[in-house]
Amino acid sequence: MGDWEIDVQMPCGAVMGGMVTEPPSPAVFNTGQVLLGWSALACDAGDARYLEAGRRGAEWLAGIQEPDGSWREGNSRFAHAGATVYNVAAAWGLYALGDVAGEERFQEAALRNADFACSRQTDTGWFRDCCLSQPSQPLLHTIAYTMQGLLELGLSSGRDDLVAAARRTADALVGALGSDGYLPGRLRPDFSGAVRWCCLTGSAQTSVVLSRLALVTGEDRYREAARRINRYLMGHHEVRSDDPAIRGALAGSWPVDGDYGRYMVLNWATKYLIDALLEEREAAAC
């Protein structure tokens, strides 16, 4: 996968958005996510190609960043204009690449974006300007990306304020969590549910963060909440179909006509389910 991402990297250094069958357009978020993979491969595989590709992507991200730390250029055409606070998850990738490459300027750029994201957080832990389509009631998916980006940047940089910001959101989500592990797919500023369907993708992402917080804080309430979410996810994980295109996958929403990934199974939803189960296991061992 790392090699394939190099093959399709855009000349400007960005990672494209959309499908490979469509005209390529650069995407800030996708670039940051792939930087996480290239950074890991640069360390684990010892292949200079991954570091070089990562440097090119990082240069592009740093080069188009606004003075306030946000990214207004280079956002995916699928994103709601001006509502991309969740790009802080891309900043996490930029920081990771800076760490591997020994480039403090990339890390500084990532932290500027984290500060920008925090400026959009309310006292309840909710984020303004943080959704693919409806910023007034953002997807759990994009809230969770923002929370994870802040947490990982805070842990990597030693910035306790970023960890505290992520924890503020996590606490609100634990408060919104149903006894069966259900979380609403869209959330209002007071963290009440704006819809009745569950964004399975966002729930898996939230579980990952809660397990990470259980490890960091030692608090069982995070561990128990992550376990509850995972049991809900496992209950809606397709393991019975004879169709190899579906069996083992996780849908975007439940019921499957929810408006995130409607009627689709998603590779990233399934990836986050794997992450959530692995993180739960690690948290349980501590």
Q: What is the tens place of the pLDDT at every residue in 26-73? A: 999 999 999 999 999 999 988 899 999 999 999 999 999 999 999 998
Going by pLDDT thresholds of 50, 70 and 90, the confidence category of residue 244 is very high
Mean pLDDT, the chain, whole residue set: 96
Write phi, then psi, for 68 (nearest 5 degrees): -80, 0
**137-150 b/e (C-beta count within 10 Å ≥ 16 → b):** bbbbbbbbbbbbbb
Nearest to 169 by CA among 148, 155, 138, 185: 148
Residues 6 or more apart whose Cβ sits within 8 Å of residue 67: none
How far is residue 177's CA from residue 108's CA, in Å, rounded to a whole number?
35
Residue 135: per-residue pLDDT: 94
Residue 40: per-residue pLDDT: 97
How far is residue 240's CA from residue 207's CA, in Å, rounded to a whole number?
24
User: Could you give the residue ranges of the DSSP H alpha helices within the chain?
Assistant: 2-7, 28-44, 48-64, 88-101, 104-119, 140-157, 160-176, 200-217, 220-235, 267-284
Residue 85 tokens read as 């606070």
Residue 96: per-residue pLDDT: 98
Half-sphere exposure of 49 (CA within 13 A, CB side): 9
Mean pLDDT of 257-267: 96
Structural domains in the chain, CATH included, are 1-119 (no CATH), 132-286 (1.50.10.20)
pLDDT reading at 82 higher than 80: no
Residue 18: per-residue pLDDT: 83
The residue whose two tokens read 């397709």 is 238
pLDDT reading at 286 higher than 90: no
Residue 76: per-residue pLDDT: 74
Residue 275: per-residue pLDDT: 98
How far is residue 244's CA from residue 249's CA, in Å, rounded to a whole number?
9
pTM of the model: 0.96
**With helix as H, strand as E and coil as C, how does 181-220 read?**
CCCCCEECCCCCECCCCEEHHHHHHHHHHHHHHHHHHCCH
Tell me the per-residue pLDDT of 97-130, one tens digit each, with 9 for 90 and over: 999 999 999 999 999 999 999 999 999 999 999 9
